[in-house]
Amino acid sequence: MEALEQAAYERDVYENDLDVLLSMHKECGDVINWRQLLSRPEPKTPLQSDMLDHAATLAFEGH
């Protein structure tokens, strides 16, 4: 009887995996307007700063 239960469990897992794969396309996010996105200006390049590195080095050297 245990082999039948194991086979039934494995079938259920397989069918669940199949359901997930077949329904994945139904869960979509918002529609993206790519042309509008391309027309936006590029974001500013972040400023590189070693302020935190310097503070960490000073704290390390102080201990």
Separation of first and last alpha carbons in the chain: 68
> Is the predicted pLDDT of residue 1 greater than 80, yes or no?
no
Name the DSSP letter for residue 43: P
- Report pLDDT digits (tens) over 9-29: 999 999 999 999 988 778 778
Domain boundaries, the chain: 1-25
Does the pTM exceed 0.85? no
In the numeric block, which tokens belong to residue 57? Answer: 């080095």
> Is the predicted pLDDT of residue 57 greater than 80, yes or no?
yes
